[in-house]
Chain A
Amino acid sequence: DAGITQSPRHKVTETGTPVTLRCHQTENHRYMYWYRQDPGHGLRLIHYSYGVKDTDKGEVSDGYSVSRSKTEDFLLTLESATSSQTSVYFCAISDLAISTDTQYFGPGTRLTVL
């Protein structure tokens, strides 16, 4: 299995509080991704990174920010959590461009915003 960890694995927070989720990899892969998964929507891309300090938006980026100061860490921040951000969040990594490579996914973080 690819070395990807996510922390925390579970979190319950209140509306309006900031939340940071961490994705850590030991594979030295270039690309890192944050997805959210909700019933009826499959996985939706939030943000991704194609190198240290190089990030871009996905299809559901509103309300989220990311940072990548080191190859191995990709942080997802909810500046002011809302109930609509209750979801399961998955991090993924890949070494090359998607068309020629595989994405490896982490175990997920279940976030509940009350």
Chain B
Amino acid sequence: QKEVEQNSGPLSVPEGAIASLNCTYSDRGSQSFFWYRQYSGKSPELIMSIYSNGDKEDGRFTAQLNKASQYVSLLIRDSQPSDSATYLCAVFAGGTSYGKLTFGQGTILTVHP
């Protein structure tokens, strides 16, 4: 079982729609959760971090965390073509992996006009 799994893509949504990206993780001791956006040929850019159960909103982005279900998601409201990118879910685990960020395989999002 992969440590961090993201919903298989690619995901295509029309401009103005809500894009929903999902991620599950296997380590119940995981402490911190991050979403990165990566444009083609560029480096990952941190767009959201979430540490406790519930929702966290930042502009058009909402991260949701459910530790009991080991699930974290990212909602992008009013999607724009400029949101087209690969979205990486990253999880920080404790224990012997302390200091290591584990990434999912990424979900490619395309927002079409």
Q: Do A and B bind each other?
A: no
Report which B residues bind A (CB closer than 8 A). Answer: none
